Amino acid sequence: MPEKIIESCNVKRLEILDEGGNADESLMPPLSDEQIKKMYELLVLSRAFDQRALNLQREGRLGTYASILGQEASQIGSAFALEKSDWIFPSFREMGVYITMGYPLHMLFQYWSGDERGVKCPEGLNIFPVCVPVGTQLPHAAGAAMGVKYRGDKKAVACYFGDGGTSEGDFHEGMNFAGVFKLPVVFICQNNHWAISVPREKQTASKTLAQKAFAYGFEGIQVDGNDVFAVYKAVKEALEKAKKDSGPTFIECFTYRMSDHTTADDAARYRLKEEIDNWKPKDPILRLKLFMEKKGLWNKQYQTDVENKAKEAVDEAVKMEEAIEHPEPKDMFTFTYAKLTQRQMRQMKEL
Amino acid sequence: MPKLNMVQAINLALKEEMQKDKNVVLLGEDVGKDGGVFRVSEGLLDAFGHERVIDTPLAESGIVGAAIGLALYGLKPVAEIQFMGFIYPAIDQIFSHASRIRARSRGRFTCPLVVRAPYGAGIKAPELHSESSEALFCHMSGIKVVVPSSPYNAKGLLISSIRDPDPVIFLESTRLYRSIKEDVPEGEYIIPLGKARVVREGKAVTLLAWGSMLHRTLQAIEDIDAEVIDLMTLNPFDEETILKSAKKTGRVVIVHEAPKTCGFGAELSATIAEDAMLHLKSPIMRVTGYDVVLPLPKLEDYYIPTTARIKKAIEEVMKY
């Protein structure tokens, strides 16, 4: 009997907006000028937040912080496609997602300053607390999506993680559940090419991360993760698919971590400056600016206004955060269980 | 009133809670069509359908992780881990997430799930089918650990566990699954978590046990006025009942199947020493499994505490 090809898969890459700010009109998602400007403002705000967080950390006013520099399009583009009623399972490098969803900025500073009250997600948003272990949030996203499906809700679940996360066992288990149960979940993998010091090619021998999805029985696509339109379009379509009960999607956002892993890291120990320099022209904000300029949506005055607005918002958030009273020591006991145990009550008296 | 074994009692608790609350769903390996390898969920697939009795891929971390997601979304998942020895891949999910979701989200999200797992040696099963690792879970704040000792209390405790607002590890002794039958009423009754049960009152010595070891402990009592306490919930455990008894009798023997070092008996012993030392007439004794890798069936009877070892410990404390 001759051997037959019984399965094959083709991995697509989506790019819409190039480094020169030229968009492929045939692929452009339907976005109004106002929406494009809103996206730009969120990109600028997220970067302003990020830079301020780095500065505050250096000044000893914030704890260890994981910068999103370079990944703003992956985060703003994806979150822009989400509804407030959707459920989000982030990793620890998703400040652009939080900001796009309208999470209060001062609470983000509060969290990174070591105050847990900062990750108490406000009512009206469904963002799970920052997930510090890598990849463990994929099964949660699958489980929440099982809940969505069970109740027949018109919602989707978005799960964020990075290239390093794809090496974890829970990546497999979460992806597998999503495929087997055909769940309304969108896996958004920001391939920023570095997991602390380990480069992408040492995480997996797969040519792309997107192709992994095919092994779980659903579609994977790679998008230019520095192209806010490509990310938005891919995520928007995946969310619509999820809400039509047509199953999960895996989206590899091909981007780059321009910063150190966190403020506790020094990337100069393990990667070349030339590599970072090569990514600079691919900057997500720069290319959207060039696009908007050509469309007559951007001028210097607009830029000044957007930057000032972002600075004001960040200034205000820092002021608010620094005015928050130190948490009560007893607060650490309050949320261990629904009710304090007898033993906890006695321990509280030792404080 | 029907006489049921523990498998039937747990099945009845699941069935009644699922009838009462549409948010209760079961998931795990072979829980659907097969009714679970011990048949605990037998008939539930037919009664409630694939949406609520979910045969999952073979993935313990995925099962508990998905249960966490379901619980966050507002459901009440009851996950089955086929044997306690297979719970280890899911420990990351239990420790890193289930136990701390309420704390990390300051109460915005909660994780009301139950992870059921058969535990314990004595049924001549292969490796990792006989573990008794309850102490691992008792060390982790934010989760509760429940070990029933009879069909009656298994049903009442499971109902409480399903309704509890926090994650519960519910450990079912494989040796007890079919060895005892007792009256188990239909319909709702609750045995509260965190409360121990005085199985028999006495003045001479306090015997502390849970799960399968309760029965061996009772068998070991001869002509002695022993007070026997069935802990039922290990975390949070009922300090009040234990200390009251220890102060009354002045002698304590703790019996558990798990290895001695850092077993839950160590916590009980330390608690009694801290709070009731001046009432004690003798050292606190522990009768436990040995500090070894749990042997395969040919040696397991030598591993599990025997009535002879329990008797000897009681004799020891009575010498003082």
Given a cut of 90, whether residue B253 has pLDDT beyond it is yes
Residues A54 and B187: their CA atoms lie apart, in Å, by 59
- Going by their DSSP bridges, the two strands A249-254 and A219-224 should be labelled as parallel
Given a cut of 90, whether residue B1 has pLDDT beyond it is no
Full residue range of the structural domain in which residue B312 is found: 197-318
Helix A72-80 to helix A284-294 angle (10° resolution) is 60
Domain boundary among B135, B160, B183: B183
Whether residue A317 is contained in a domain is answered as yes
What whole-number percentage of chain A has pLDDT above 90? Answer: 100
Mean pLDDT for chain A overall:
97
Residues B72 and B84: their CA atoms lie apart, in Å, by 24
Whether residue B191 is contained in a domain is answered as no
Residues of B in contact with A343 (CB under 8 A): 236, 239
CATH number at residue B172: 3.40.50.970
**Is the same domain home to B176 and B212?**
no
**Is the same domain home to B31 and B106?**
yes
Contact between chains at A343 and B236 (C-beta distance less than 8 A): yes
Whether residue A16 is contained in a domain is answered as yes
Under a CB-based contact definition with an 8 Å cutoff, are residues B149 and B214 in contact?
A: yes
- Encode pLDDT of A298-316 as tens digits: 999 999 999 999 999 999 9
Under a CB-based contact definition with an 8 Å cutoff, are residues A221 and A249 in contact?
A: yes
- Residues in chain B, how many? 320
Helix (H/G/I), strand (E/B), else coil: A208: coil
Whether residue A3 is contained in a domain is answered as no
What whole-number percentage of chain B has pLDDT above 90? Answer: 98
User: Which pLDDT belongs to residue A94?
Assistant: 96
- Encode pLDDT of B261-288 as tens digits: 999 999 999 999 999 999 999 999 999 9
Under a CB-based contact definition with an 8 Å cutoff, are residues A180 and B57 in contact?
A: yes
Domain boundary among B134, B157, B183: B183
**Is the same domain home to B147 and B231?**
no
A128 closest CB neighbour out of B59, B62, B109: B109
| In chain B, residues 27-66 whose CB comes closer than 8 Å to chain A | 51-52, 54, 56-57, 59, 61-62, 64-66
Residues B30 and B39: their CA atoms lie apart, in Å, by 9
Among residues A77, A90, A64, A84, the alpha carbon closest in space to that of A124 is found at A84
- As annotated, the active-site residues of B are 129
Under a CB-based contact definition with an 8 Å cutoff, are residues B151 and B181 in contact?
A: yes
Whether residue A250 is contained in a domain is answered as yes
User: Which pLDDT belongs to residue B2?
Assistant: 87
Whether residue B192 is contained in a domain is answered as no
Contact between chains at B66 and A146 (C-beta distance less than 8 A): yes
Does A48 contact B at CB distance below 8 Å?
no
Contact between chains at B103 and A116 (C-beta distance less than 8 A): yes
- Encode pLDDT of B2-50 as tens digits: 899 999 999 999 999 999 999 999 999 999 999 999 999 999 999 999 9
Structure confidence at residue B243 as a pLDDT band (50, 70, 90): very high
Whether residue B190 is contained in a domain is answered as no
Instruction: Look at chain A and report how many structural domains it folds into.
Output: 1
- Encode pLDDT of A244-259 as tens digits: 999 999 999 999 999 9
Name residue, tokens 């050292």. B283
Phi and psi for B55 in degrees, rounded to 5?
-75, 120
Whether residue A1 is contained in a domain is answered as no
Whether residue B215 is contained in a domain is answered as yes
What is the sign of the dihedral through the CA atoms of A265, A271, A272 and A275?
negative
Phi and psi for A61 in degrees, rounded to 5?
-100, 0
User: Which pLDDT belongs to residue A253?
Assistant: 98
Which residue type is seen at A257?
R
- Encode pLDDT of B154-172 as tens digits: 999 999 999 999 999 999 9
Does A139 contact B at CB distance below 8 Å?
yes
Instruction: Look at chain B and report how many structural domains it folds into.
Output: 2
Residue A119: closest CA among chain B residues belongs to which residue? B105
Which residue type is seen at B9?
A
Residues of B in contact with A136 (CB under 8 A): 65, 92-93, 96-97
Domain boundary among B116, B150, B183: B183
The predicted model gives B109-119 an average pLDDT of 98
**Is the same domain home to B158 and B220?**
no
Residues of A in contact with B108 (CB under 8 A): 120-121, 123
Does A127 contact B at CB distance below 8 Å?
no
**Is the same domain home to B205 and B175?**
no
The predicted model gives A90-95 an average pLDDT of 96
B62 closest CB neighbour out of A119, A121, A176: A176
Contact between chains at B97 and A136 (C-beta distance less than 8 A): yes
Under a CB-based contact definition with an 8 Å cutoff, are residues B109 and B72 in contact?
A: yes
Mean pLDDT for chain B overall:
97
Rg (CA), chain B: 19
User: Which pLDDT belongs to residue B35?
Assistant: 97
| Distance between A91 CA and the closest CA of chain B, angstroms | 13
Does A177 contact B at CB distance below 8 Å?
yes
The predicted model gives A75-100 an average pLDDT of 97
Kindly indicate whether the ipTM for this predicted assembly is greater than 0.85, answering yes or no. Answer: yes
Residue A131: closest CA among chain B residues belongs to which residue? B97
Chains A and B: how many Cβ contacts under 8 Å? 139
**Is the same domain home to B171 and B249?**
no
Sheet strands (E) in A144-300: 157-162, 185-191, 194-195, 198-199, 219-224, 249-254
Whether residue B146 is contained in a domain is answered as yes
In chain A, what's the furthest Cα-to-Cα distance? 78
CATH number at residue B222: 3.40.50.920
Class of residue A152 by CB neighbours under 10 A (exposed 0-12, middle 13-18, buried 19+): exposed
Q: % helix / strand / coil in chain A, to the nearest 5?
A: 50, 10, 40
Contact between chains at A337 and B142 (C-beta distance less than 8 A): yes
